[in-house]
Structure 1
Amino acid sequence: MSIYQKFGVRKVINGSGKMTILGASAVQPEIAEALGAAAMDYVVMEELMVAAGQKIAIATGTEDGCPTAGAAPGIAIAVAAVIAGTDLSKIERLPNSDGLKNEIILQKGHVVNFGAPVAQMITLGGGRVIEAGQANHVEACHIKEAITEKTAALFYVKSHHAVQKGMQSIETMAAIAKKYNLPFIIDAAAEGDLKKYAAAGADIVIYSGGKALGGPTSGFICGRANFMKACRKQYKGIGRAMKVGKEGIIGLLTALKLYECQVDDSKLQIERMTWLINQFDKTSGIKGEIVQDEAGRAIYRANLTINPEITSKDAYQIIKELEEGNPAIYTRNYYANLGIISIDPRPLLKRQEEVIAMRIKEIIKEK
């Protein structure tokens, strides 16, 4: 019995991914031990924040860092930092930024919802969202023409949620930011490369601690030292409402330490998902294939394409029954409208792909 079942909620099999709605990651024992040890002791939080910033800087190859409660508060705090800096009077005004340089420019195809709107997180930090170009086509001149004396920063969303074609590259955005002497912020929440985006020219990069890192619910910002100092100062303002605890910081730092030794598990991902697909070789109405992550990450999922004329149930019906069962099985359903159910192997615990295969077969046999 899981700890959650003891409190009256169903067991969950997570084949969806490291999703916030399912608690993000199941941490390694070493991280769990660190969380427990941190919870049973005291620390001067300001000292811990500074020390954590230095550890984050080492892991990311940047000047400094700032721990956060997640990537979403990281967006709000980073935006607040470029608007208010370390000026306490301005910090205490936010999110009211009237009269300040507060315009944050991002490409229209990056104005996405990741469970909440990116634009709302920017607004919480006092930013006024300026959308450049169109949802499927942005030119460099769209971004340049959006820049005014009120522009506080350029913002880029690196995510599978964002439009993947017709957008300007990180390199182009970085060059424009440099030309106009503007901070360049990248939201790289679920990305696994902790050095790539700062090296590509970002002044501020935001990551989740509970996604690719496999840490607890947490996050961090990294980049130029002056901005990181300003980020930490926001905890005297809007950051207070989204503060990260001592346990979260220690869990994050432990996850960063373990991440340095992480090995590529893509071969194992492919093996597990190939096994899953093979279970449907003789099942009429279900065709499986291995696909790589839309954003190019080393993630290999199983796509099951459902033919409802044969199975008598479409993808949506199967998804619904999977989620309503006990255990509740959650899959990745961005292409359910095309009849595709996707399974992400990364969050699956040992042999849970066997339960998924068995349950899907049971569902399509139920008339």
Structure 2
Amino acid sequence: MNVFSKFGLKQVVNASGKMTALGASAVHPEVARAVSEAAQDYVEIDELLVAAGREIAKATGAEDGCPTTGAAAGIAIATAAVIAGTNLSLIERLPRPAGVPDEIVLQKGHSVHFGASVTQMIALGGGNPVEVGHANHTEKAHLTEAVNDRTAALLFIQSHHAVQKGVQSLEAMKEIAAAKGIPLIVDAAAEEDMRKYIALGADLVCYSGGKALEGPTSGFICGRKDLIEACRAQYKGIGRAMKVGKEGVVGLLTALARYGAKEETGGEQKARMERFLQLLEGVPGVKGGISQDESGRDIYRAKLEIDPATAGMDAKQLIKRLQSGDPAIYTRNHYSNVGIIFIDPRPLLPNQEQLIADRIRDIISKGSSI
């Protein structure tokens, strides 16, 4: 039983990852205590945002930072900031800026859907998204030729959702941004390195607080001081509809402070998943292996290849049966169409590997009669 049971909801085992649809992360008790304490007290929010910016700067190596409700809100607010700056009249006109540069240039292979469309987040901030190149092939010329006097910024999406080959690198986009005198925004929502993209020269970087950081639903933008000041200014405009509360800010900062003492490395994830695969040895039609995250992050998952002829069902049927149980088990299913299921160790609570292995073994032993 858990807190959600009182609302008639069944328990969920999250083997999918830090997924918004499953509540992102289960926070550390220290983070939960900080959220609770903040929720029961008062603070001047404007001062809290500035203080939070200082802590974010320390953690990321940036000049300043701005808390948000999440990385998606970060994209919208960062877009608004490069278009309107701190000009209140412009801020209040968004998302229809009219008469100022508002084009946000991104590679077509980066025009992703992460549960919503990244181009819609740009539009919420008053930006006009300009996709260049092709889904699997973008040349530097595609980007340089797209920049004109209406361009407000370049946007780079660092995500497993994005095309990983045939696209221009962050370094290449930084060169273009510097040569053209425009900012480079990076969406690094689920990335684990909080310093990398600032060190590579990005002007604004958007992170999720509820994914790699394992904080509450939250996020932050870090970057150039003048642009972060403009980000905070958007809370008098479009940011008001996505304002972050005191408990979200304090939970975020607590998770950020804990992040340096992260308990599990990629090597430990591999070892953990190897032990999980041992629990599945001998299950008909299930071939196990270890796979690194497709975007190169230091994340390792168990890879299960399902042979329908031997297992008595295909990957999608197995997924459906895992999700229909109580507790419902959610796996990582981006490649289920080719018979592959992934198990992500990061969100699993203690002893849940055994529960998942037992459920898979039971489902396959009963076969299509279920």
Q: Could you say which residue in structure 1 is the equivalent of 2:182?
A: 182
Q: Could you say which residue in structure 2 is the equivalent of 1:71?
A: 71
Cα separation, 2, equivalents of 1:260 and 1:42 = 28
Displacement, 1:269?
Answer: 1.3
Q: Could you say which residue in structure 2 is the equivalent of 1:26?
A: 26
Secondary structure of the equivalent of 2:59? helix
1:138 to 2:138 alignment = yes
- Percent pairwise identity: 60
Cα separation, 2, equivalents of 1:263 and 1:172 = 34
Q: Could you say which residue in structure 1 is the equivalent of 2:302?
A: 302
Amino acid of the residue matched to residue 335 of structure 1?
Y
Secondary structure of the equivalent of 2:302? strand
Amino acid of the residue matched to residue 253 of structure 1?
L
Cα separation, 1, equivalents of 2:10 and 2:212 = 25
Cα separation, 2, equivalents of 1:211 and 1:113 = 17
Displacement, 1:6?
Answer: 2.2
Cα separation, 2, equivalents of 1:230 and 1:267 = 40
TM-score (norm 2): 0.98
Q: Greater CA deviation, 172-181 or 258-267?
A: 258-267
Displacement, 1:263?
Answer: 4.3
Unaligned runs of 5+ in 2: none
Q: Greater CA deviation, 6-15 or 327-336?
A: 6-15
Cα separation, 1, equivalents of 2:149 and 2:48 = 37
Cα separation, 2, equivalents of 1:129 and 1:312 = 47
Cα separation, 1, equivalents of 2:211 and 2:280 = 30
- Alpha-carbon spacing, 1:329–1:168, altered in 2? closer, same or farther (3 Å): same
Displacement, 1:201?
Answer: 1.0
1:84 to 2:59 alignment = no
Cα separation, 1, equivalents of 2:334 and 2:126 = 31
Cα separation, 2, equivalents of 1:281 and 1:57 = 47
Q: Could you say which residue in structure 2 is the equivalent of 1:199?
A: 199
Cα separation, 2, equivalents of 1:3 and 1:245 = 22
Cα separation, 2, equivalents of 1:260 and 1:286 = 37
| Counterpart contact for 2:314–2:339, Cα < 8 Å | yes
1:288 to 2:282 alignment = no
Give CA deviations for 1:242-271 in whole Å, capped at 9, x if unaligned.
010000000000001001222452233112
Amino acid of the residue matched to residue 82 of structure 1?
V
Q: Equivalences for 1:96-175 in 2 at 5 Å?
A: 96-175=96-175
Displacement, 1:365?
Answer: 2.1
Cα separation, 2, equivalents of 1:74 and 1:311 = 44
Amino acid of the residue matched to residue 293 of structure 2?
D
Q: Could you say which residue in structure 1 is the equivalent of 2:46?
A: 46
Give CA deviations for 1:58-101 in whole Å, capped at 9, x if unaligned.
10001100000000000000000000000111101111122220
| Counterpart contact for 2:283–2:364, Cα < 8 Å | no
- Give the ranges of 4+ consecutive aligned residues of structure 1 lying more than 4 Å apart after TM superposition: none
Secondary structure of the equivalent of 1:330? strand
Displacement, 1:324?
Answer: 1.2
Give CA deviations for 1:30-66 in whole Å, capped at 9, x if unaligned.
0000000000000000000000001101100011000
Cα separation, 2, equivalents of 1:268 and 1:6 = 35
Amino acid of the residue matched to residue 32 of structure 1?
A
Displacement, 1:278?
Answer: 1.6
Q: Could you say which residue in structure 2 is the equivalent of 1:37?
A: 37
Give CA deviations for 1:283-337 in whole Å, capped at 9, x if unaligned.
2211000001111111110010001111111100111111111001000000001
Cα separation, 1, equivalents of 2:129 and 2:237 = 20
Cα separation, 1, equivalents of 2:142 and 2:265 = 40
Q: Could you say which residue in structure 2 is the equivalent of 1:251?
A: 251
Cα separation, 2, equivalents of 1:191 and 1:358 = 32
Q: Could you say which residue in structure 1 is the equivalent of 2:235?
A: 235
Q: Could you say which residue in structure 1 is the equivalent of 2:343?
A: 343
Secondary structure of the equivalent of 1:356? helix
Q: Could you say which residue in structure 2 is the equivalent of 1:365?
A: 365
Unaligned runs of 5+ in 1: none
Cα separation, 2, equivalents of 1:109 and 1:277 = 34
Amino acid of the residue matched to residue 75 of structure 1?
I
Q: Could you say which residue in structure 2 is the equivalent of 1:262?
A: 262
| Counterpart contact for 2:284–2:364, Cα < 8 Å | no
Amino acid of the residue matched to residue 58 of structure 2?
I
1:354 to 2:354 alignment = yes
Aligned pair count reads 367
Displacement, 1:112?
Answer: 0.3
